Amino acid sequence: MAAIAENWHKSKEKHNSKRRVHYFSAEYLLGRMITNNLNSLGILKEVIQLLEARGIDVNLFEAIEDIALGNGGLGRLAACFLDSAATHEIPLDGHGLRYKYGLFKQQIKDGEQHEVADDWQRFGTPWCKRRDDSTVEVTFADQKVIAVPYDMPIIGYMTDNISTLRLWQSEAVQEFDFQLFNNFEYEQAVSEKNKAENITRVLYPNENSYEGKRLRLKQQYFLCCAGITDIVRNFIKTYGNDFSRFAELNAIQLNDTHPTVAIPELIRILQDYNLPFDVAFEIARKTFSYTNHTIMSEALESWEVELFKSVIPNIYSIIVRINEKLNMVLETKSLDYEQIYRMQIIQDNRIVMANLATFVSSYVNGVAQIHTEILKKNVLKDWYAIYPERFQNKTNGITQRRFLSLCNPELTDFIAIILGSNDFIKDLSIVEGIKPFINDATAKEFATIKKQKKAQLADFIYKREGVKLSSEFIFDIQVKRLHEYKRQLMNALSILNIYYQIKDGALTDFTPTAFIFGAKAAPGYKRAKGIIKFINEVATTVNSDPLMQDLMRVVFVENYNLSYAERIMPAADVSEQISPAGTEASGTGNMKLMLNGAVTLGTYDGANIEIIQQAGFENNYIFGLRVEDIEKIKHNYNPKALYDSDSNIKRVMDSLINGAMQDTQDHSFTELYNSILYGTYWHRPDHHYILADFNSYMEAKLKANNDYKDWVEFSKKCLMNIASAGMFSSDRTIIQYAKELWHV
Ligand code: 26W
């Protein structure tokens, strides 16, 4: 820390001196900082050598540090943005929550997931600097707490610029009550302290499913109150009480709706400084922008009015005024009743956060082309109709510092030799330069590196999971959160289909493949947990069959996290991105795998579409219904008919109920079976179109499997993917945000 102190301080002053951006996010999935920071400072190789000389393996840090203050895509994107902004000297700093416990650690017992608390701070947190001079008091209807900032330096790659991630921790106003303590009321004495600390005790482990919990609302308001108070205080220190320049000097980006109460909070604070509501409103509208990350209706946040009022009544009153203002605006447009109803911020006794965020924003953006189009056509179509100029697309990206240079030094060196420099670590667009060099010789060299990365992963998996994999096998990989819409079940069923077809002689020349899964299920998400168990049952069946020895392996890795990802991405041949068209907003794992030279076996969904536009259909394996196709079949889709008429589909589906696989105590396999064939009271049969896409998925999967036989040609496809990954750097993304939406 001492080594970076001066640059950090200078960067803080610089960010303070002109227009700047504040990124507000409830999640940051940071992973390991140590290697990343050493890499940014350009001393990683040296340090590794020094450690090795003392017999210390740098990977030791993985057991000590893997900061998971996020669930998945959204949190990792925030972390990539911090890295890219710092590297490209964009004056951006983050605000977030310092959860005591990050995302749970996953244990698999008997094929089932169990959760263990992630006490990530237990060895101390050397990258966090506590700032007792910058605390904020946060007031709820029933509680007052202190927000204490912990600053983390975000070290740009090979630059002096160091950004700040400010993580707020909730503490009691008074450590404990001595009065009560002296009266022997020990539990009472510490109860305030516990209640205060509860607010940042734990990260909610839900991804893509909304739960209207009081504590979650408290977390959100806590973050927003602390962050906004801090920003305003800082503004006043430099520019005084004249807020007319506030929006010109500050842009605030909302990472999904989770930090949306920042909008009424800013209005509240400005009103405290005697600004009229309308003036405060306009400043807020100019300051904020909102990124949407999901179109799944079950993930859209809406708070019950009564609950909201009981936690932050003063913020509720401001939202009422904002809604009145909205209706004044809507009156001037000729809209029908339905439209006006759908746009209400307060609707059916609930506060619809996406409507609030869209109304009081300069810009709204989606995270891939198709996703932005869906926002404009469906989810936010009423808003698009009256504010078309607010809508933008910003296709996601990933940082190549972590997902290439750090995790795959072998491939990095190979690319650097071809290009004659490693400038691509700062400007990924130039990897395109390898295209003219894709030939038999480089394809073979690439294949050697890939095999080396597969061998390294196989070693690790053997140590961790006890399953032996051969680096001669194809590595077919699906790693991401477990969710029905991501269709891990379809993948598992396809593996079972291959297995049965090999057994009955229908499939004869299968190229040996290791199917690797990694995924955490939200603890309360029963079906997702059932799917994990099912994958593990398929693994047991396949791996224990002696006939499959040299043909197939199935592994579900325990506790898939960033450190695991950094080992898996470089070793993949096939990247499974198989959500039904129109459901995955973007995906970013698809980009990490592409950049490490895997071909995509995927649907026409999210950023897959742009990946294919860049790298070519001929170098990837695209299958399945398109959005328009689904739109057409949706109303008379009959999966039961497919099941009845297709013996392969019937056979794999029946494995869910015929005892071939050992079901969970609560019969989740049967429940999955029924949900696909018959639906339930809350959804139609097979609402993720597993059976509709099954055969075209099988065909694409087997085509990739067969193409791999000519591994030199296959490696050329991989190289074409790497060469085409330039636009998927988060550097490109963040520069676009900076230019087109923040104007910094
Ligand atoms: C309120 C519960 C909740 C929690 C998290 C709802 C929704 C979320 C996130 C918005 C879910 C998420 O992580 N979305 C993912 O965001 C990535 C980054 O943009 C995209 O690449 C993924 O497609 C999208 O699923």
Per residue in 542-564, pLDDT (tens digit) is: 999 999 999 999 999 999 999 99
Give the closest residue to 360 by CA, choosing from 378, 387, 333, 393.
Answer: 387
d(CA 522, ligand 1 centre) in Å: 13
372 lines ligand 1 (CB under 6 A): no
User: Is 395 an annotated catalytic residue?
Assistant: no
Question: Any idea of the CA torsion for 593, 598, 604, 608, to the nearest 10 degrees?
Answer: 40
User: Is 486 an annotated catalytic residue?
Assistant: yes
* Average pLDDT rounded to a whole number, residues 81-93: 98
Confidence of residue 640 (pLDDT cuts 50, 70, 90): very high
Residue nearest to atom 21 of ligand 1 (CA): 587
d(CA 74, ligand 1 centre) in Å: 5
Give the closest residue to 86 by CA, choosing from 127, 36, 48, 134.
Answer: 36
Atom of ligand 1 nearest to the CA of 72: 13
Question: Any idea of the CA torsion for 349, 353, 356, 358, to the nearest 10 degrees?
Answer: -140
149 lines ligand 1 (CB under 6 A): no
Atom of ligand 1 nearest to the CA of 27: 5
User: Is 632 an annotated catalytic residue?
Assistant: no
Whether 178 shows a pLDDT value over 90: the answer reads: no
What pLDDT score was predicted for residue 559? 98
Whether 252 shows a pLDDT value over 80: the answer reads: yes
What pLDDT score was predicted for residue 180? 77
- Which of 166, 401, 453, 481 is catalytic? The answer is 481
- From 81, 207, 301, the mutation candidate for ligand 1 (largest count of ligand atoms within 8 A of CB) is 207
What pLDDT score was predicted for residue 530? 98
d(CA 629, ligand 1 centre) in Å: 25
Burial of 432 (0-12, 13-18, 19+ CB in 10 A): middle
Alpha-helix residue ranges (DSSP H) falling in 256-304: 262-272, 277-287
What pLDDT score was predicted for residue 430? 98
605 lines ligand 1 (CB under 6 A): no
522 lines ligand 1 (CB under 6 A): no
d(CA 561, ligand 1 centre) in Å: 16
**Taking a C-beta distance cutoff of 8 angstroms, is the pair 477, 495 a contact?**
no
Parallel/antiparallel/unpaired status of strands 105-109 and 250-255: unpaired
Q: Which residues contact 596 (CB under 8 A, 6 or more apart)?
A: 403, 404, 407, 408, 411, 453, 569, 570, 572, 722
Place of tokens 């300069």: 362
What pLDDT score was predicted for residue 81? 98
Lowest mean per-residue pLDDT among 57-61, 414-418, 666-670: 57-61
Residue nearest to atom 6 of ligand 1 (CA): 208
Q: Which fold has domain 400-728?
A: Rossmann fold (3.40.50)
Structure letter (DSSP) for residue 570: G
d(CA 87, ligand 1 centre) in Å: 25
Which CATH superfamily hosts domain 2-167+218-396?
Glycogen Phosphorylase B; (3.40.50.2000)
Parallel/antiparallel/unpaired status of strands 574-577 and 599-603: parallel
User: Is 481 an annotated catalytic residue?
Assistant: yes
Percent with pLDDT over 70 in the chain: 100
- With 0.85 as the threshold, say if the pTM is over it: yes
pLDDT tens-digit series, residues 198-209: 999 999 999 888
- Which of 105, 394, 486, 701 is catalytic? The answer is 486
- Which of 588, 603, 664, 733 is catalytic? The answer is 588
d(CA 208, ligand 1 centre) in Å: 6
Whether 63 shows a pLDDT value over 80: the answer reads: no
397 lines ligand 1 (CB under 6 A): no
d(CA 492, ligand 1 centre) in Å: 24
Residue 563, both tokens: 């450190």
What pLDDT score was predicted for residue 227? 99
Q: Which residues contact 330 (CB under 8 A, 6 or more apart)?
A: 340, 343
591 lines ligand 1 (CB under 6 A): no
**Taking a C-beta distance cutoff of 8 angstroms, is the pair 280, 266 a contact?**
yes
d(CA 609, ligand 1 centre) in Å: 18
- Which of 88, 293, 450, 687 is catalytic? The answer is 293
Whether 334 shows a pLDDT value over 80: the answer reads: yes
* Average pLDDT rounded to a whole number, residues 652-662: 97
Residue 573, both tokens: 């041949």
Confidence of residue 87 (pLDDT cuts 50, 70, 90): very high
Percent with pLDDT over 90 in the chain: 92
What pLDDT score was predicted for residue 68? 96
What pLDDT score was predicted for residue 62? 73
What pLDDT score was predicted for residue 411? 98
Structure letter (DSSP) for residue 104: P
User: Is 32 an annotated catalytic residue?
Assistant: no
* Average pLDDT rounded to a whole number, residues 637-642: 98
Give the closest residue to 216 by CA, choosing from 203, 229, 231.
Answer: 203
Sign of CA dihedral 413, 416, 420, 423: negative
What pLDDT score was predicted for residue 340? 97
40 lines ligand 1 (CB under 6 A): no
Sign of CA dihedral 68, 69, 70, 74: negative
Residue nearest to atom 10 of ligand 1 (CA): 293
Atom of ligand 1 nearest to the CA of 209: 2
Whether 179 shows a pLDDT value over 90: the answer reads: no
What pLDDT score was predicted for residue 450? 98
pLDDT tens-digit series, residues 671-726: 999 999 999 999 999 999 999 999 999 999 999 999 999 999 999 999 999 999 99
* Average pLDDT rounded to a whole number, residues 214-235: 98
- Which of 350, 592, 688, 701 is catalytic? The answer is 592
Q: Using CA atoms, how far apart are residues 396 and 391, in angstroms rounded to an integer?
A: 16
Whether 184 shows a pLDDT value over 80: the answer reads: no
What pLDDT score was predicted for residue 65? 80
d(CA 330, ligand 1 centre) in Å: 30
* Average pLDDT rounded to a whole number, residues 334-359: 97
323 lines ligand 1 (CB under 6 A): no
Whether 177 shows a pLDDT value over 90: the answer reads: no
156 lines ligand 1 (CB under 6 A): no
Q: Using CA atoms, how far apart are residues 623 and 601, in angstroms rounded to an integer?
A: 8
Q: Which of helix, strand or coil describes residue 114?
A: strand
d(CA 583, ligand 1 centre) in Å: 11
Q: Using CA atoms, how far apart are residues 362 and 357, in angstroms rounded to an integer?
A: 10
579 lines ligand 1 (CB under 6 A): no
* Average pLDDT rounded to a whole number, residues 41-60: 88
Residue nearest to atom 5 of ligand 1 (CA): 207
Domain ranges of the chain: 2-167+218-396, 400-728
**Mean pLDDT, all residues of the chain:** 96
- From 293, 371, 578, the mutation candidate for ligand 1 (largest count of ligand atoms within 8 A of CB) is 293
* Average pLDDT rounded to a whole number, residues 231-237: 97
675 lines ligand 1 (CB under 6 A): no
Confidence of residue 175 (pLDDT cuts 50, 70, 90): confident
